[in-house]
Amino acid sequence: MRTLFACFPALSLGLLSWVPMLRFALQRRRTLDWAVLGLYVLLTVGLLVWLDLLPTTETEEGEVAEVSALVGFFWLALIVAATVHAVRGDRFERPGRAPAVAHTVAYPAPYYGPPAPYGPPPAAAPAPPSSASPRMRQVADELDELGAYLRKEEEGGHR
């Protein structure tokens, strides 16, 4: 769909340069997108009016050619800008904008009190269930042995 809408300005020779911007405005519903749509509509209509007001006969030598070249330059700039905007504008969203949530209720964070002091737990760890595999039992025994060794080392180092 992005490619189709990006082709509108080029394939219509700028007459439909506002179509991708209408798509953006309808999708995003942002004020900036509606303003950009209005700008493209005004530029398209303005260039058409300017083209219509061009004199058909030369009043002074080369004057019509210069004005026609200026209108052609602005028309080409409109086509290129609309195409680039249609391709790039749909690809990247602005970071930091979270989608709106219909109903939000703020609850206070729970209070858990001060943190527990560092050190071994006062009670021994519960034994693993008896249905554990032999390897799990071996690992649990080794961990218990390591814990006892570390507690013994800690007590000996503080005295």
Specify if 100 maps to a domain: no
Average pLDDT over residues 32-37: 86
The tally of domains found in the chain comes to 2
Same domain, 84 and 143: no
- Residue 131, domain extent: 127-159
State the pTM of this model. 0.47
Specify if 159 maps to a domain: yes
Segment 37-50, tens digit of pLDDT? 898 889 888 888 88
Say if residue 16's pLDDT is above 60: yes
Specify if 23 maps to a domain: yes
Query: DSSP labels for 40-52?
Result: HHHHHHHHHHHHH
What pLDDT score was predicted for residue 14? 79
Same domain, 6 and 77: yes
